[in-house]
Every structure is written in structure tokens, then in C-alpha cells.
Structure 1
Amino acid sequence: MRCFVHKSLRKADTYVYLREPDGAALPVALRESLGPLQQVLELELLPTRRLAQADTARVLEALEQHGYYLQLPPPPQSGGA
């Protein structure tokens, strides 16, 4: 599946994978909370492709069902010792 990856210019390390390049599938409230989006990548997403920060199967499922997948930054790691 062809997908388009955009980063939020308002929220650091937050990315949206979109099935369509125009982002029409994004709910209005989500679009507004993310602020401006900048396309950073266009790729052919296959079940065998590995992604650095997301599970490929979950991304593909979300794209099929909702037209988008929201990738949030990883939670901060505690420095306990």
C-alpha cells in the first residue's frame, strides 16, 4: 500500500501515516491539535517492511480502517537506579 508520512510542525516527534496524500481522512480535531503538517516521506508499505517506531501490521490495519495512523513520540524513559 502506498502511504504518505507527515510530521507535525507543532508536536515534536509526532508523525501521521496517511493513505491519501491530502490527509482528508484525518478528523478535524486531530488535524487542529497537530497543527501544520509537512510531508517527509512517501513509501510503499508492505507487511514485510520494518518501521523504526511502529508495528507495520498495526499501521497497515489503521490505514485500511481509518485512512491514517498516528505515531506519537516514545514515552520518556525513567532514569531510576
Structure 2
Amino acid sequence: MPKPGILKSKSMFCVIYRSSKRDQTYLYVEKKDDFSRVPEELMKGFGQPQLAMILPLDGRKKLVNADIEKVKQALTEQGYYLQLPPPPEDLLKQHLSVMGQKTDDTNK
């Protein structure tokens, strides 16, 4: 029985692994070294998982490139969450967009 004043937390944790094959690709699972719910094909493409960190999903720490609620939902429903790298910046497209706006502004 817990001592008075001590709340038992049902905080959800996840274990985050870095891909050995794909840069900026991370796999979140519920338990350390338990990839039983991760599809075999995904594991082949992911390579040897490299432990990055263990993280509580209680909202105290923000995830940089993932929505914490989506991570929790994926862990509950499918047993893993795969974080892919953000799309590369298209600097040429950004430049042309800015130049187009400047041209439009000068024609008014």
C-alpha cells in the first residue's frame, strides 16, 4: 500500500532508438529491446537499433520532431512510432518565391 501523500503515477514511458542505416530516423517502443510489435520489414530497413534515450511521455519534456499525443497513440495501438527526418529545405524554391513576391510588389 502506498504511503500517504505519495501518488502512484501511471506515467507512460518510451524507449527511443536511432537508426544505424537512416540518418535522423528514430523508432519509439514501449519497452527496452522489445521490437516484437515492429514489422520485420521495418526493422530490416531501420538497421541495428542504437539506444538514444528513455523518455517519460507525461508532457514535461517536449519532443523536437514529434507530437507527443501521436506518439502515445501509436505506441498504444501498434506498439511503435517511427519518426522520419524532416523534408529537406528547398532553398531554390524559397528564393524564387521571395523573388516572385518582390517582383509582384514592384509592379503595383
TM-score class, shorter-chain normalisation, is over 0.9
Structure 2: segments with no counterpart, 5+ residues? 1-11, 96-108
Query: Rg bigger for which structure?
Result: 2
Q: Distance in 1 between matches of 2:89 and 2:65?
A: 15
What's the TM-score once normalised by structure 2's chain length?
Answer: 0.71
Residues 1:78 and 2:90 aligned together: yes
Structure 1 consecutive aligned stretches of length 4 or more whose deviation exceeds 6 Å: none
Paired residue type of 1:28: E
What's the TM-score once normalised by structure 1's chain length?
Answer: 0.92
Structure 1: segments with no counterpart, 5+ residues? none
Task: Select the structure that is richer in helix.
Answer: 2
Match of 1:14 among 16, 19, 25: 25
Q: How many residues align?
A: 81
Q: Higher relative contact order at CA 8 Å, sep ≥6: structure 1 or structure 2?
A: 1
Task: Select the structure that is richer in strand.
Answer: 1
CA RMSD of aligned residues (A): 1.1
